[in-house]
Amino acid sequence: MGKIRINNLKYFTKNGVLKEERVLGQQIEIDVELSLDLTAAGKSDDVADTVSYAEINDLIAKRVTTSSYNLMEGLAAAILDDIQKDFGNRLTSVLLRIRKYSVPMPGLFDNIEIEMERAFK
């Protein structure tokens, strides 16, 4: 088994429950961890034997920039659906983290993070 990770993908979005979030927007960061068998790719040195992280990046960017959600959980589930649809036959699981900054709530904190994981096999 092996893992491919893409860390700290950054996007400016207009997601959120509150009107201010949808008007002003905020930065989010996304980490994705793909679990899969990398044995064949290690031997062949061929991208056809793995999952292209460039394609995963494009898939996530498309979802984040063309859709809007009240909840980060909704965005995470949609990204997991997209990954499962296009790459689920090659993956055993995906772990996704989304961090949201500039959250309009009282208190001192860096960000809010949600984590969702989905197994495919």
Q: What is the CATH number of the domain that holds 103?
A: 3.30.1130.10
Give residue 16's pLDDT.
85
Q: What is the per-residue pLDDT for 118?
A: 97
User: What total of structural domains would you count in the chain?
Assistant: 1
Radius of gyration of the chain (CA): 16
pLDDT for residue 18? 82
CA distance 63 to 106: 29
**What residues make up the domain containing 35?**
2-119
The two tokens of residue 37 are 């068998």
Torsion of CA 70, 29, 90, 49, to 10 degrees: 150
- Are 96 and 79 spatial neighbours (Cβ–Cβ below 8 Å)? yes
pLDDT at residue number 26: 87
Q: Which listed residue (10, 62, 85, 100) is catalytic?
A: 100
Residues in the chain with pLDDT values less than 50? none
What span, in angstroms and rounded, lies between the C-alpha atoms of 87 and 111? 30
At residue 22, the pLDDT reads 81
At residue 21, the pLDDT reads 81
Give me the pLDDT at residue 48, please.
Answer: 92
Termini Cα distance of the chain: 13
Is 69:75 a contact under the CB 8 Å cutoff?
A: yes
Tell me if residue 105 falls in helix, strand or coil: coil
Residue 30: its pLDDT value, please?
98
The pLDDT of residue 119 is 96
- The whole-number pLDDT of residue 5 equals 98
Active site (annotated) includes residue 100: yes
